[in-house]
Amino acid sequence: MSLWRRSSAHSLGGEAIPKAAPSIQLLVLGAAGVLVCVMLLTGWLLALLAVVVGLLLALGGELSRRSRADRTALETGRRYRFLAEHSFDMIVRFDPRTQRRTYISPAVRRLYGYEPEEAMAMSAEEIIHPDDLAGVNKALARLEHDAEQAPILYRGRRKDGTYIWVEASLTRSRDPDTGATEIVSIVRDVSERMRYEAALQQAKEEADGASRAKSQFLATMSHELRTPLNAIIGFAEIMQQEVMGPVGNAQYRSYITDIHMSGTHLLQLINDILDLTKAEAGKLELNEEMIDLGEVIRSVVRVNAASIEKAGLTANVDLMPELPLLRADERKIRQVLFNLIGNAVKFTPAGGRIDISGRFDPAAGMRITVADTGIGIAPENLQRVFEPFVQIDNSLSRQQPGTGLGLPAVKAIMELHGGSLELRSLVGVGTEATATFPAERVVAGPSSTSARSAA
């Protein structure tokens, strides 16, 4: 049997070429499969290697971050301990439930005289004054709801048995090691501050007592002086009007005018003192009634006519027609007008002019303005003149009598009425004082008298 029997042949140049055997084909296919498997296995290994490398890089980064965090925490802890050990304020950390202290800074030596180890073994009752212990416990209880609160004051006992005032700032936080809730207390000695505050309080109480005694004295004296003064002024007015018969001697009539002027001035001063002391004590009250403001203004100008004429001045009254009624205290309104006109007379040189006007504006209210052509007030002194007993120091004003109580009293009276007092002035030109009553004090309808002018 020929070896080439099962094979087919192709003719090439007259020679027969046999086909490859099936076993060789299988070998080639097997080799190709192995190569593919190796390639797939290599890809998986590379992928696995990449994952491992990624995990190693991530782990390295995490370890590096943790290392930095540990170094930062260590450095922070060192700084905290350094500050705590060198601070003048004592720092205490303790468990809010058991009151067991976990740390006390060395400042306890200076504050209480104990070593930190001694203080760690002591209870709060051994340090805090018995009368203050309840307040401290309440503050600790409040920390359960609020992480922080205002500092508390209490007395702490030193090692020598004496007590000092301390101020403690309490904060709820967490122990960085265990995560448990703890209280951090920063305590400082405030004994010196408490002594200063006690001395200040005592001085204030003594000053208040002296002020009350002064006010009581002035009020009593004012009441005692007003009764005879009213009699003097009343009899002087009767003699001026010659009710009981004529005064034959012209010199006597001049003396009667002087008595009336001096008495009126003294009564005005006493009223100022009385009202100012009441205002300081918060006891100044109004006796309100419906008044004809125009008639009150003219009446006060008539009373001051003699002093205006004696000073060589002219006075003009300009009232708005049909000026409405005003709900106010008439005696105090007269006092306001006497003071404002009196100041204008005192500080206006001879030949000057005083203008008194009354106006009503539904929006602005009722205004009384007293303007003069006097010496004026410097801008820096416009507020000082409202201080009791202050008189502006210049050559003319120091020549004039007065106590410096008039404008403070006027301001107090106007504020009591819900109004205001405003001053505008130019040195060498004059001063304008405006007393304004709120619109709600004005009663609808004109007064019963018409506007007139007085000179």
d(CA 433, CA 423): 5
**DSSP code, position 160:** T
Q: Are residues 357 and 409 in the same domain?
A: yes
Q: Are residues 293 and 278 in the same domain?
A: no
pLDDT exceeds 90 at position 154: yes
From the list 106, 108, 86, the residue with the least C-alpha distance to 156 is 108
d(CA 187, CA 154): 10
Percent of the chain exceeding pLDDT 70 equals 79
From the list 269, 225, 431, 278, the residue with the least C-alpha distance to 345 is 431
Residue 292 domain flag: yes
Q: Tell me, what's the pLDDT at 69? A: 64
> In the numeric block, which tokens belong to residue 409?
């009293």
Q: Tell me, what's the pLDDT at 141? A: 86
pLDDT exceeds 60 at position 375: yes
Single residue among 229, 254, 284 that ends a domain in this structure: 284
Q: Which of 8-12, 37-41, 103-107 has the lowest mean pLDDT?
A: 8-12
* Mean pLDDT computed over every residue of the chain: 81
Q: Tell me, what's the pLDDT at 78? A: 63
Give the start-end residues of each E strand in 138-180: 152-157, 163-174
Residue corresponding to tokens 């007003």: 226
Q: What is the pTM of this model?
A: 0.51
In contact, 449 and 294? CB cutoff 8 Å: yes
From the list 50, 297, 76, the residue with the least C-alpha distance to 177 is 76
Domain range for 329: 288-446
The total number of structural domains in the chain stands at 3
Q: Tell me, what's the pLDDT at 422? A: 94
Higher pLDDT pick, 242 / 115: 115
In contact, 174 and 181? CB cutoff 8 Å: yes
Q: Tell me, what's the pLDDT at 419? A: 94
Q: Tell me, what's the pLDDT at 166? A: 94
Residue 257 domain flag: yes
**255-278 pLDDT per residue, tens:** 888 888 888 878 877 877 777 777
Single residue among 216, 250, 284 that ends a domain in this structure: 284
Q: Are residues 156 and 173 in the same domain?
A: yes
Domain of residue 263, CATH code: 1.10.287
Across the range 427-439, mean pLDDT stands at: 94
In contact, 371 and 354? CB cutoff 8 Å: yes
Residue 31 domain flag: no
**291-350 pLDDT per residue, tens:** 999 999 999 999 888 889 989 999 999 999 889 999 999 989 998 999 999 999 999 999
Q: Are residues 274 and 323 in the same domain?
A: no
Q: Are residues 429 and 330 in the same domain?
A: yes
